Copies of this chain bind each other. A is one copy, B any other.
Amino acid sequence: MAKRGMLIVLSGPSGVGKGTVRKAIFEQKDNDFQYSISMTTRQPRNGEVNGEDYFFVSKSDFEDKIAHGQMLEYAKYVDNYYGTPLQYVNQTLDSGKDVFLEIEVNGARQVREKMPDGVFIFLTPPDLVELKQRIINRGTEDMATIDKRMGKAVDEIKTMRDYDYAVVNDDLVVAVDEIKNIIKGEHLRVTRVYPEYQEMLGEL
């Protein structure tokens, strides 16, 4: 049996740029890990492909998966579910390959409870003023909504304490490099490799 892969979770406050960083990581072709595609009940947007951007399923299918413990994490936004199907993650890990999740902080908390051995990386804004500016620059929200989101961001940043690593999303190239660096380093942690050495010592 292959050595089980490592679960990598990238999270951080809304608006910090998790999606951009994740895409930049997967544009590089030297990755040894598999991106876990989320499942959602929302309608595909223009150009979105089922099985690439998301797994698009019906509400009843999604609720059925929740009821059967088949979601590693999930959340409901407005009227739609978003989440990570457990089976795909477990199959990939069992095959020996690492799995990379990019999810919201609530989802990350759920994953930490179920898979505490994962590597949890928190993406942070360089500062909160900068974060506010990014949300404003999107131009999709009014000021009341922005203030509400900022309060949420502060609460979310405080959850950093429950993560293993913190990466600042200031320079995209640096952030991508740091995340890949963390993943390489984690593979060398004694807690992950010691079983192999026990085998080596057992050969004597």
Using a CB–CB cutoff of 8 Å, the interface residues on chain A facing chain B are 122, 124, 127-128, 154, 157-158, 160-161, 163-167, 178, 181-182, 184-186, 188-190, 193-194, 197, 200-201, 203-204
Contact = CB atoms under 8 A, between A and B. Distances in A.
A204 B151 CA distance: 10
B166 A127 contact: no
Given A160-B194, A181-B181, A194-B161, A188 B167 contact: yes
Contacts of A128: 200, 203-204
Given A128-B204, A166-B188, 19 more contacts: A122-B190, A154-B201, A154-B204, A157-B197, A157-B200, A157-B201, A158-B201, A160-B190, A160-B194, A161-B190, A161-B194, A163-B190, A165-B189, A166-B193, A166-B194, A166-B197, A167-B188, A184-B185, A185-B186
